[in-house]
Structure 1
Amino acid sequence: MIHPMSRRTVLFAGFAVPLLTACAGLPVSAAHRQRQVRVSAPFDMPTISIPDFSAGPRFPITDFGADPADQRKTSVAIAAAIGAANAAGSGIVVIPPGVWPTAKIHLKSNVNLHLEPGATLLFSENPADYLPAVPSSWEGLECYNYSPLVYALECDNVAITGQGKLKAKLDVWRVWYQRPKPHMDALVALYHLAAKDAPVGERQMTAGAANLRPQFIQFNRCRHVLVEDVSIEDSPFWVLHPLLCRDVVIRRVKIKAHGHNNDGVDPEMTQNVLIEDCVFDQGDDAISVKSGRDRDAWRLGVPSKNIVMRNCRIKNGHQLIAIGSELSAGIENVLVDNCHFDAADSATPSTINNLLYVKTNERRGGYVRNIHMSNVSATKVAGGVLCVETDVLYQWKNLVPTYERRLTPIQGLHVSNITVGEAKFVCRITAEREMPVRDVSLGRIKVQKVLDAPVLTENVVNFINES
């Protein structure tokens, strides 16, 4: 069993060595083609290297016995095709047109999972199909949990592409959305284990009615990741979760998921990320940048940074982009540019709140710096253009104690060229007196109808409003 706290894994989390134990099997000499993606940003944005499978051999799952009437045969065939592509040094696992029922899919290095037009991977609603437990995390705390529906651990050069669809059956997950007392008890237990630095291998979260829903797609400690063109519908939990990854491109992806905690993309302790030309229709935030929670993140010490989101359409969601509240390893160098927030043709009533929302609390520590938003438009939002809150604990305020108080320095929030039809406010920042928010600039912000005080700031140093 892979233990996420081994010396090998900690080094990988810090991007020090490319060890690929979970995705082993390639000859040392095996080379893989890559493409370079260069991104313009108001900070030093490194070139992103992503896999190039254009010359790779194809491994249709039908060659391995996939049967659209048999979930077991299809699951076995997908795993066999992935193994064959990995053993060949590089390959494309092809999902042909049709509806293909499957249980969990575990990717390996140098493998592209490709869904042809008209293909649907329909994922089982049975939690037993996502066992045994795998190293994962839940709202920023490391643990062993149900496997994400699509999972890659410590892989190099992995991709999910094509014009097909990945869809989750929600029969059971919809019941688990309710978060009954046994679920909350399990989360409280996990919080205490993490606060006391219990080994991650002891944090087994699949027993009883803990009901910690898995992410739809998680890349865990991977490098050179591409998700392109696919549609993703419904999800048990967060939809796309790059965790402790480096060099990630998410392009022309359409996500529609309106369950509880259905964020679109959650880059967590992940660096060098491009999210572009995507469409989000979410039950929670479109993008939520995170960097782990409390002691786990302080221990791992890997910030999220160099993240660009551009040219995206958000049909629905709580925020266009949220920063936190799981930000204990730090978040820096984020750009949102040329995005439009509009619920006009969403199938559900608007839940749009803020365009840029920074949230933290006295337990998080970490830091936030150098966040930029520009050229964004929205029709109607319940909140505002920029909102910063430093006392966001939700139900956790009374459920668990503060083991260690660490405030979050927030500095360098720059918002410009924004057009909104209606909002409650333009900017609202409530910070702690002992840790003011610093260096905030607003420029060329036009809100046609403001329902409340346009600007409210508490404990902000160097606030510039040139709207």
Structure 2
Amino acid sequence: MIYAAGGIALAAATPFATGCSSNQGSSEVKTPWDDLPGVLARIVPPTFPDLHFDIADYGALGDGETDSSAAIAAAIRACGLSGGGYVDVPPGVFITGPVHLESNVNLHVGERATLKFSTDPNRYLPAVFTRWQGIECFNYSPCVYAFQKTNIAVTGKGTLDGQASNDNWWRWKGLEKFGWAPGSPSQDAAAARLNSMGERGIPVAQRVFGEGDMLRPMLIQFYDCANVTVDGLTVRRSPMWAIHPVLCTNVTVRSVTVESRGPNNDGCNPECCTDVLIEGCTFDTGDDCIAIKSGRDNDGRRIGTPTVNVVIKACHMKYGHGAMTIGSEISGGARFVFLDGCTIDTVGWVVRVKSNARRGGTVEHVYVRNVDANTIRESALTADFQYEEGSTGSEVPVLRDVHVSNMRVRESHQVMTLLGIPGATIDDVELEQCTFDKVEESSTVQNAGAIELSEVIVDGAAIRDVAGLIK
């Protein structure tokens, strides 16, 4: 396997090959993991002036009944005008509409403090510039939102509660299991209209959605921001994706617990971002725990910004679809993704790459190590270029340079599922020092290139090549 060194900051560096040295005359083996400290050195949480603005001083009441939106907005405004600092949420339950951050503001939700967000959709209007499933538009404001801000954070040991349920946001998905009834309206018509606008290149200013369209907002979304941190919080009952940085640089998501099993309730979705650290988080989600994205179809190609340098460390995936998914909104591509030292209880996939002939996108340099997993309902490693059956198009998705080492899975349906399409690329995939027990079915490999196995054990037997997986 050929290892590519660097990431964007080292794009001009010479790639290193296994068994080769970056220094002449040395026998040292260079791997991508050796470049990880350089990536992490750039991911530094912002600091804030030691100035504190308690929302209670601006009239907020933590009685679980009084609307504190105006008080919270006033505290944020005062903090920003003072040059920055902390907007403190003290113990109590504070009802609020959407919260919009300013530069240099740390919204600090303290221990035993909860922000409960209104379930009245009208509170999230007027529409803001946002992205919905990979396509730019104007739509309901996220619960916590920032646009083109620098040095922003949401921190503390408190809780952000979106209050989503089958009685409100979740039923908009259009599934009976989430409270929708046949014949009732859902998000489907608006989602199709937005997709069509993106495909036809309709100007974003004309893609305006809101009342009656039922496109659910994210819980936290930072759009086109720099120096971003979400730290320590519990995030519950999100209307849609829970934590969604878009076009952001220098992002830290640390020690966050996401508890949200609704539809499309992904835990953390960095999209078109550079230098992202997701560390020490716990995910119990109704969709993917972490999903790396970069825009959908033509709109993603129009923006043309990949997600680069994502580091996922020491996270616990309790429940979800994919522990780490790349796609399906991946038209801008992704590269240099590192997953290290994570534990998994029950998910569908450990690593899943999703695309098709409409999405396209190049995904490369994906490195996974030291994963301990209990139950995998589908496959430990999946590349699905046939995602969303029936999708046709002229785009060519690419996946290459994927290295998985020291993965232990105690129970899984399959070890590997690689579903390519003619003309696309799934190549240079390696599993090394991995153990899989209680595997129900043989692996599936279609339209894939080089796959290498080294010290792979399946149900106690050494498997030396892919033929041994597919039997």
Q: Same fold (TM over 0.5)?
A: yes
Q: Are the counterparts in 2 of residues 43 and 333 from structure 1 also a CA contact under 8 Å?
A: no
Q: Are the counterparts in 1 of residues 67 and 95 from structure 2 also a CA contact under 8 Å?
A: no
Q: Residue 411 in 1 paired to residue 400 in 2?
A: yes
Q: Are the counterparts in 1 of residues 66 and 94 from structure 2 also a CA contact under 8 Å?
A: no
Cα separation, 2, equivalents of 1:299 and 1:247: 23
Partner of 1:459: 447
Q: Residue 377 in 1 paired to residue 372 in 2?
A: yes
Q: Residue 363 in 1 paired to residue 358 in 2?
A: yes
Cα separation, 1, equivalents of 2:294 and 2:66: 36
Partner of 1:172: 168
Q: Which residue among 249, 254, 265 is the counterpart of 1:251? A: 254
State the TM-score, normalized to the length of structure 2: 0.85
Note the alpha carbon deviations across 1:358-414, whole angstroms, 9 max, x for none: 1100001221000111100111111121011101125xx47xxx5x52011111111
Q: What does 1:37-436 correspond to in 2, within 5 Å? A: 45=39, 47-53=42-48, 55-69=49-63, 73-170=67-164, 171-178=167-174, 182-208=186-212, 210-343=213-346, 352-393=347-388, 397=390, 405-436=394-425
Partner of 1:20: none
Note the alpha carbon deviations across 1:208-260, whole angstroms, 9 max, x for none: 2x200000000011000011111111110000000110000001111100000
Note the alpha carbon deviations across 1:151-196, whole angstroms, 9 max, x for none: 0100100001111111112241132233665521111111111111
Which amino acid in structure 1 is aligned with residue 102 of structure 2? Answer: K
Note the alpha carbon deviations across 1:83-141, whole angstroms, 9 max, x for none: 01100111100000000111110001000000111100011110011110001111101
Cα separation, 2, equivalents of 1:227 and 1:68: 22
Change (3 A) 1:62 1:316: same
Deviation above 4 Å: which 4+ runs of structure 1? 39-44, 69-73, 179-182
From the CA coordinates, give the structure whose radius of gyration is larger: 2
Note the alpha carbon deviations across 1:306-326, whole angstroms, 9 max, x for none: 000010111100110001010
Cα separation, 2, equivalents of 1:449 and 1:70: 48
Cα separation, 2, equivalents of 1:406 and 1:460: 17
Gaps of at least 5 residues in structure 1 are: 1-38, 344-351
Q: Are the counterparts in 2 of residues 407 and 435 from structure 1 also a CA contact under 8 Å?
A: yes
Which amino acid in structure 1 is aligned with residue 77 of structure 2? Answer: G
Q: CA deviation at 1:459?
A: 2.1
Q: Are the counterparts in 2 of residues 41 and 335 from structure 1 also a CA contact under 8 Å?
A: no
Note the alpha carbon deviations across 1:315-355, whole angstroms, 9 max, x for none: 10011000101000110000111001114xxxxxxxx2110
Q: Are the counterparts in 2 of residues 156 and 223 from structure 1 also a CA contact under 8 Å?
A: yes
Q: CA deviation at 1:70?
A: 7.7
Cα separation, 1, equivalents of 2:170 and 2:42: 40
Q: Are the counterparts in 2 of residues 289 and 324 from structure 1 also a CA contact under 8 Å?
A: yes
Which amino acid in structure 2 is aligned with residue 309 of structure 1? Answer: I
Cα separation, 2, equivalents of 1:72 and 1:49: 37
State how many pairs are aligned: 413
- Equivalent position SS for 2:377: coil
Q: Are the counterparts in 2 of residues 65 and 73 from structure 1 also a CA contact under 8 Å?
A: no
Cα separation, 1, equivalents of 2:444 and 2:63: 59
> What root-mean-square deviation, in Å, do the aligned CA atoms of Structure 1 and Structure 2 show?
1.8
Partner of 1:33: none
Cα separation, 1, equivalents of 2:263 and 2:189: 18
Q: Are the counterparts in 1 of residues 420 and 448 from structure 2 also a CA contact under 8 Å?
A: yes
Change (3 A) 1:88 1:188: same
Which amino acid in structure 1 is aligned with residue 357 of structure 2? Answer: E
Cα separation, 1, equivalents of 2:37 and 2:44: 18
Which amino acid in structure 1 is aligned with residue 380 of structure 2? Answer: V
- Equivalent position SS for 2:155: strand
Which amino acid in structure 2 is aligned with residue 264 of structure 1? Answer: G
Which amino acid in structure 1 is aligned with residue 424 of structure 2? Answer: M
Q: CA deviation at 1:41?
A: 5.0
- Equivalent position SS for 2:115: strand
State the TM-score, normalized to the length of structure 1: 0.85
Note the alpha carbon deviations across 1:15-57, whole angstroms, 9 max, x for none: xxxxxxxxxxxxxxxxxxxxxxxx965596261232112x420
